[in-house]
Amino acid sequence: MTPGARQETLAVHATARQPDSTPSAIPLYQTSVFTFTDLDVFADAFSRPDGAFTYSRLGNPTTRALEEVMSALEGGRAAMATASGMGAISTVILSLLQAGDHVIVQQGLYGGALALLRDLAARWGLKVSVVDVDDPAAIAAALTPTTRMLYLETIANPLGQVCDLPALAGWARRHGLLSVVDNTFATPILCQPLRHGADVVLHSTTKYIGGHSDVVGGIIVVSEPRLHRTIWERGTEFGASADPFAAWLTLRGLQTLPVRVERQCRNAGILARRLAAHEGVTAVHWPGLPGHPSHARAAAQLAGFGGVFAFDLAGGAEAIRSFTKRIELVTLTPSLGGVTTTVITPRSSSHSRLTAEELAAAGLGEGTIRVSVGLEDPDDLWADFEQALGTAPSCQARHDAKGAA
């Protein structure tokens, strides 16, 4: 990697290291094992994450290329690619915590992560406190002698809360805690949490990093080698490692990440502002709107406001059913971060394992829809939203005619 290169350059110039030359494109090393002629080199390779390649669960040249470029983009020291975003989350939690430890987590956390922590609390005795991280008193009150980790999201899923990363990471460090940040929604293009003092950053690379809805993966980037060794040793034992083909597909997508994120943020702003003025919408949750609680912090801390937002329909669950049946260009699809615009209802997907109380605390009502904005023309997207909301007469007539056909 070129020292001091900017994000756009780092993303495009990922390389696979070779002794005498460098291939222009990252090769796919679709192999499970590597052969040796020297027993000492063979034995050494099994003992460390940066040794010679032996077995692709432990390391692979294609996977290593992804790890190196993501580490560079995040300003980290090392990385481990995993088989999914939940693989990254699980590896971090299972590697760095043990039975009886206490973890403080951000209110409104991704449902899958919260469900995992709740399961470990029931089966392992892990202690979990869910707090409003905008309330310093609540964070201080949650601290116990067994607290080991503070777990955050750069842009919370799906209501767009942006936490004060420098302050929270600094507080965690002063109290001897590891700070872990899920940076999936922001990507390293909008924010690099390690540069704000975090210890570990993770992503579901299924989303923006891969970017084309054709690969599942995750990545963990750390601030120092000791953490990397612990995560690598335990993560490879868990079998969480990324497959080389998945890493190769992710690298292909990563090269266009900066331009995709810029366009998705711009499109999200257009849609969010138009929805905010719509009579059938009671609230729009996008940190780029001046009325959003995190707007000032997002403007100061991020290089953009993100391509995901949520909005609430006045008609609740019935309005959601109508909207999701009527959309045509936009699709009802799980996941996010691809080149096409998609919607989901968090209560029935990403946050479906939360209790009624947890859903209420997270601010997810029956009329909440999450939008992942793609690369389409924003006017085409708005036309589809408008007709699905039932307020574009010509589109209404076209939809009714289509239903009658």
Count the neighbouring beta carbons within 10 Å of the beta carbon of residue 58: 18
Query: If residue 9 lies in a helix (H) or strand (E), which one and from where to where?
Result: helix 7-12
Annotated catalytic residue 64: no
Active site (annotated) includes residue 384? no
Catalytically annotated residue among 64, 101, 110, 151? 110
- Cα-trace Rg, the chain: 22
What is the rounded CA–CA span in Å between residue 259 and residue 255? 9
Let me know the angle formed at the C-alpha of 312 by 307 and 315, rounded to the nearest 5 degrees: 145
Which residue out of 64, 127, 148, 207 is catalytically annotated? 207
Q: CB neighbours (10 Å) of residue 23?
A: 9
Compute the distance between CA of residue 105 and CA of residue 131 in angstroms, rounded to an integer: 6
Tokens standing for residue 18 = 């070779």
Determine the Cα–Cα distance for residues 107 and 235; give it in Å rounded to an integer: 27
Give 49's contacts (C-beta < 8 A, 6+ positions apart): 58, 59, 78, 80, 228, 229, 232, 233
From the candidates 48, 55, 57, 134, give the one annotated as an active-site residue. Answer: 57
Nearest CA among 197, 215, 118, 119 for reference residue 152: 197
Instruction: Look up tokens 């299972």; give the residue.
Output: 94
Give ∠ CA 106-283-298 in degrees, rounded to 5.
45
Catalytic member of 101, 182, 199, 312: 182
Active site residue 127: no
CB 275 within 8 A of CB 284: yes
Side by side, which strands form the sheet with 308-313?
281-285, 308-313, 368-372, 342-344, 331-332
Q: Where are the alpha helices (DSSP H) in 203-294?
A: 225-238, 244-254, 257-276
Question: What are residue 292's phi and psi, to 5 degrees?
Answer: -70, 140
List for the chain the helix, strand, coil content (%; round to 5). Answer: 45, 15, 40
Q: How many residues in total does the chain contain?
A: 405
Query: Which residues form the catalytic set?
Result: 57, 110, 182, 207
